[in-house]
Amino acid sequence: MPEPTKKDETENESAPPPPEQTTPQEGGNEKGKDVVIREMTSSSDEDDTSVSTPPADGMSKPAERKDSVWSLGEGAPEESEKRDDSQRSTLFIEKPQSGTVSVGGNITFIAKVEAKDLLRKPNVKWFKGKWMDLASKAGKHLQLKESFERHTKIHTFEMQIIKAKENYAGNYRCEVSYKDKFDSCSFDLEVTESSQAAPSIDIRSAFKRSGEGQEDAGELDFSGLLKRREIKQQEEEPEVDVWELLKNANPSEYEKIAFQYGITDLRGMLKRLKRMRREVKKSAAFAKGLDPAYQVDKGGKVRFMVELADPTVELKWYKNGQEIRPSAKYIFEHKGNQRILFINNCTMTDDARYYVTAGDEKCSTELFVRDPPILVTKGLEDTSTYVGERVELSCEVSEDDANVKWFRNGVELTNDPKSRYRIKVEGKKHTLVIEEAAKNDTATYSVMTTGGQSEAKLAVDLRPLKISLALQDQTVRLGQEIHLKCEISENVEGKWYKNGQLIEASDRVKLYHKGRIHRFVIPVSAVDDEGEYMFVPDAYNINIPCKVHIVDPPKLHLDGLGENNTVTVVAGNKLRLEIPITGEPTPKVFWSRGDKMVTDSGRIRAETYPDSSCLVIDAAEREDSGPFRITLKNEAGEDSALINIKVVDVPDPPQAPNVTEVGEDWCIMTWEPPANDGGSPILGYFIERKKKQSSRWMRLNFELCKETTFEPKKMIEGVAYEVRVFAVNAIGMSKPSMPSKSFVPLAVTSPPTLLAVDSVTDTSVTMKWRPPDQIGAAGLDGYVVEYCFEGTDEWIVANPELTDKTKFTINGLPTGSKILVRVKAVNAAGESEPKYHPQPILVKEVIEPPKIRLPRHLKQTYTRRVGETVNLVIPFQGKPRAKVSWEKNGSPIDKNDINIRNTENDTIIFIRKAERGHSGEYDMKVEVENLVDKATIDIQIVDRPGPPEVVTIEDVWGENVNLSWKPPKDDGNAAITGYTIQKADKKSMEWFTVIEHYHRTSATINELVIGNEYYFRVFAENMCGLSEDATMTKESALIAKDGKVYKYPVYDDFDFSERPLFTQPLVNTFAVAGYNATLNCSVRGNPKPKITWMKNKVLIMNDPRYRMFSNQGVCTLEIRKPSPYDGGTYTCRAVNELGEAEVDCKLEVRVIYHGVINPGEPLSLAGDNQLHSKDF
């Protein structure tokens, strides 16, 4: 048994973990991500770091070695060993356990995950070692299964190994992840030899390639990390220390070394090598520690030895953190201070990290178990063949199922199912198979193992080509399949050409090649498919031609037309009806209407194009409606169809509407539908009205009226109106109907008011009343008085003809009867509601004592000016037959000077032109039989007074003159109320008023100009005004120049400053869309404030839609043709240097008319149909 190679370096580590503590296992990596190999420099003294891996679960079971990466920097690998599993989220409820199976046996590992808190299935992966994902190795030896129990909500994941081999032994890992949660579990598989003798299996066989669908699919190999490389001739070399080789090698050579020396866990080896490179610490417990690394061939024996400083210290050995117990495999020896561990019959599971503890210190090493090299026992042979033949290149190696690599011109070949190369393994025989050899398969092929290589040359030549079946000329109907087929003697590719242009396969063109047969297929032929086709085999200078001719009978495509091939066009529009046509060759087109053919010129004409034909009608008319026939003809046949042209137009105007009923501000109108609806059903009607004297019509309805009756409202009573109607269909609006006969909205008056009994005799009743409160525009034609006897319902008309008086006497009544009376007002609109007397009236004369009802203004002196008219009406009571008499100052009145008129209820005294002699006391007396009533009226006729008597200058001093005068002799029959004093300079004699309405008879005139000489005059004044003349002073008053200077008082100017104040605020309002709207408010302030406007707190500036005015404090904002988007809150702000003020309001823009929705376009309104704000 060869001895393992040792390293000179010794690594002592302190603080060993207690036996029950678990160390990090191989299965953990950072967040479930693969650890990648980074570049390292070739310098041996460069710093390095390790990548920490998450620790395995807390179960106490054996753990494999840890993986690491070779990278720049410096780190502490031991930190990852001390991490606690609590950092990882717990997902497993049952973890797979380590197990043992015999060679050829089956074993299943089970993991369970609870799905109670998971929204979807977790992601589970199975790994062998550190990096091999077993999902791609599933096959006959490995099966992965999963299931879900709905009742318990548990996911079960199984990994089943079938017919286990010895190289399946090792460390495995199961990882589960869900979003940010992660859990991992490592477990070991030990494969023991069966009781029957079986040949040892080299672990290097795990390197062989395997693929899906092959008999060896599912083998656990390590080919994932092997890269393509150049082949070098390998020679017999002496045994090499792999640890030393990796230590000194360039990182780009790691994979090559791993393949050459059978390293299955390259990353683990690099990680262990990095730990060996750390600086060795001196140990007090170990006089001599373990070597940094050992290596041994598979099946060999290895010896570990340490020398203790104190032989009494207890020593324990560990493998990947699990204590080693003595057994037939593990043998312990003590020689003095030396402690020795032998490991017999080393397998790949023994490739691990070992350490020994003595007290609190430990010493560790690495063991590498190497497979023996695989030799090529039978090499490849040079081969020659023809294109399309099957080629097999075979070799034999020294062991079954060995890992062998194939190369073509130095480039590695893989056993990919999509590859045209297939690698077959039968025990020690390895074969490269090419099913159908091609010309470009000519190359040098080589095979490489860990112990040797072999190469051979393959030559592929072309065979002479023969045409077994040539292409045939075809005539194909349009839309049918084009199928071209040829057969040649060789199975080679080829190209298809049409008219010399290469044809590529597509969704429409199918190219088939099976063996020696080539087919060209177009499932649905087209016109463009006609031409010359040719097939050219690859690598041969030969072509196979044929011709394809496409024929197609003519056909009309009328799918886009309406029911019964009907086409509708609006009158006046241009119709361009395009009918797609097909046919090969291009058919001739004929259009006809009845027996008349449609030519290619004129208002109705036909236009023909290669793929369509057009019927064109310029300015369509109603007479153009009818069937048109289109006919297609070519050598393959003919096709024809009838197309119905329907010309639609706006409807005819309706007849003039009739106004059947009229109210106060409304009427009811009816009309008949138009005789012709224009070919489209009537959708409704629009109604307009206007004043008879106006020419402007106003739209009354903004939504179509579906009926033939309408009630216009909001008319002005007493104004003559006319109405008209528009009919609307899907095409548009008709012309207006003729206006209706003019009509005037009228309303009956309100009932008469204050109906009362004026007088009653033995045979008559006199009633009186007041006119109605509301008469209306129809005026008042008169009244109808009706009565009925108490106890009956028969009303008798007392006046057959209307009376325009408000008093009427009902004669011919029986004495002692009782009657009920009512009065109706009558005008052109009819009779009003009756006004009833509240109580029955007894027909019997009643004596009423006289009583004069003197008006209040006559109870005092009645004053009038001379020349004015005196007209006094004095009502009185008294029945029957009251007598009235008048006296003036106790004497009878002269009826030639004063007019007196008496009635039953009042007396009138009339003076056409009053004079002062008409003043006096007037006595009135009313007599009824022996009863008398008297009243006195004091009448005073007044006139302007005469001038004052003498005006005298009493004194002159300084700038002052004192005047005095006497009252006038004639006061005008009224008290003197004041005097007016005027002055005049002697030089100009122009008079100026200095005092008015002065009540005294003396006055002092001030502020006269010194050095001037003045005259003065005085007017007398009473209730009629100033006297006609004035009395002037006889002497003048001279104002001397010397005198005391008068000092005028000084007054301060009034401060008119004021901060802005809105005296009239803005008012919430609404506007009609499309019609200008204004907002108004008023503000005051001094200095004049600056006015700004805002909308929704945003300043309005330089916007042409708004105009702002400010005149005498009135602020106006005009919004031109607002839309609904202009609605919102508007604010007016006034600012001056003393402060500011704001006022706001809300504006709502309402859309009154939305139009008639016609197919394709909205209804357009004429300019005379605009809205006016006064109509709302």
Q: For 915-966, what is each residue's pLDDT tens digit?
A: 988 999 999 999 988 889 999 999 999 999 999 989 999 999 888 999 999 9
586 within 8 A of 609, measured Cβ to Cβ: no
Mean per-residue pLDDT for 603-609? Answer: 90
CB crowding 441-452: b at 16 or more within 10 Å, else e: beeebbbbbbbb
Mean per-residue pLDDT for 168-175? Answer: 88
Provide the pLDDT for residue 761: 84
- The angle subtended at Cα 1104 by Cα 1102 and Cα 1107, nearest 5°, is 90
Nearest of 368, 339, 151, 138 to residue 265 by alpha carbon? 368
Tens digit of each residue's pLDDT (9 = 90 or more) over 812-854: 888 889 999 999 999 887 888 899 999 998 888 777 889 999 8
Provide the pLDDT for residue 1155: 43
Question: What residue has token string 């600012």?
Answer: 1135
**Which range is least confidently modeled, 217-226, 497-506, 556-565, 703-712?**
217-226
Mean per-residue pLDDT for 780-784? Answer: 90
Q: Tell which wins on pLDDT, 281 or 165.
A: 165
> Structure tokens of 226?
């092997």
Provide the pLDDT for residue 266: 67
**Which range is least confidently modeled, 6-10, 758-762, 774-778, 1028-1032?**
6-10
**Which range is least confidently modeled, 203-212, 251-260, 996-1005?**
203-212
Residue 257's H or E segment, with its range, is helix 254-260
Nearest of 632, 641, 640, 642 to residue 611 by alpha carbon? 632
Residue 52, pLDDT > 90, answer no
Provide the pLDDT for residue 262: 64
| Rounded CA separation 1081/1115 (Å) | 5
pTM: 0.30
Provide the pLDDT for residue 71: 29
| Rounded CA separation 521/513 (Å) | 11
Question: Which residues have CB under 8 Å from 475's CB, separation 6+?
Answer: 548, 549, 551
- The amino acid sitting at 946 is G
| Rounded CA separation 758/770 (Å) | 12
Residue 973, pLDDT > 60, answer yes
268 pLDDT band, cuts 50/70/90, is: low
Helix locations, 594-743, DSSP H? none
Provide the pLDDT for residue 275: 64
Residue 409 phi/psi, 5° resolution?
Answer: 55, 40
278 pLDDT band, cuts 50/70/90, is: low
Q: Tell which wins on pLDDT, 63 or 309.
A: 309
Residue 273's H or E segment, with its range, is helix 266-276
| Ranges assigned E (strand) in 914-1068 | 920-928, 931-942, 951-957, 960-965, 978-985, 991-998, 1002-1005, 1013-1022, 1025-1026, 1031-1032, 1037-1038, 1058-1064
| Rounded CA separation 949/953 (Å) | 14
Provide the pLDDT for residue 1143: 95
Residue 719, pLDDT > 50, answer yes
Mean per-residue pLDDT for 1145-1164? Answer: 58
Tens digit of each residue's pLDDT (9 = 90 or more) over 123-147: 899 988 766 888 877 777 888 888 8
Residue 249, pLDDT > 80, answer no
34 within 8 A of 237, measured Cβ to Cβ: no
Kindly list the distances between the CA atom of residue 673 and the CA atoms of 386, 555, 899, 1066, 1116, in Å, as whole numbers in the listed order: 94, 45, 72, 49, 48
Residue 1176, pLDDT > 80, answer no
461 pLDDT band, cuts 50/70/90, is: confident
Provide the pLDDT for residue 285: 81
Question: What residue has token string 């199961």?
Answer: 174
**Is residue 109 classed as helix, strand or coil in its secondary structure?**
strand
Number of C-beta neighbours around residue 971 at 10 A = 18
Nearest of 177, 174, 175, 178 to residue 119 by alpha carbon? 178
Provide the pLDDT for residue 194: 64
Residue 4, pLDDT > 70, answer no
Q: Cis before residue 585, ω within 30 degrees of 0?
A: yes
Tens digit of each residue's pLDDT (9 = 90 or more) over 633-647: 887 788 899 999 888
818 within 8 A of 843, measured Cβ to Cβ: yes
DSSP string of 339-370, one letter each residue: EEEEE-S--GGG-SEEEEEETTEEEEEEEEEE
- Average pLDDT over the chain, rounded to an integer: 81
**Which range is least confidently modeled, 12-16, 302-306, 513-517, 730-734?**
12-16
513 pLDDT band, cuts 50/70/90, is: very high
Residue 152, pLDDT > 50, answer yes
Residue 250, pLDDT > 80, answer no
Residue 293's H or E segment, with its range, is strand 293-297
Q: Tell which wins on pLDDT, 1175 or 253.
A: 253
Over its C-alpha atoms, the chain yields an Rg (Å, rounded) of 65
Provide the pLDDT for residue 654: 93
Residue 1004, pLDDT > 90, answer yes
Q: Tell which wins on pLDDT, 270 or 723.
A: 723
| Rounded CA separation 700/309 (Å) | 121
Q: Could you tell me what percent of the chain has a pLDDT over 90?
A: 36
788 pLDDT band, cuts 50/70/90, is: very high
Residue 500, pLDDT > 50, answer yes
Kindly list the distances between the CA atom of residue 373 and the CA atoms of 239, 242, 448, 482, in Å, as whole numbers in the listed order: 11, 13, 11, 62
Provide the pLDDT for residue 1175: 36
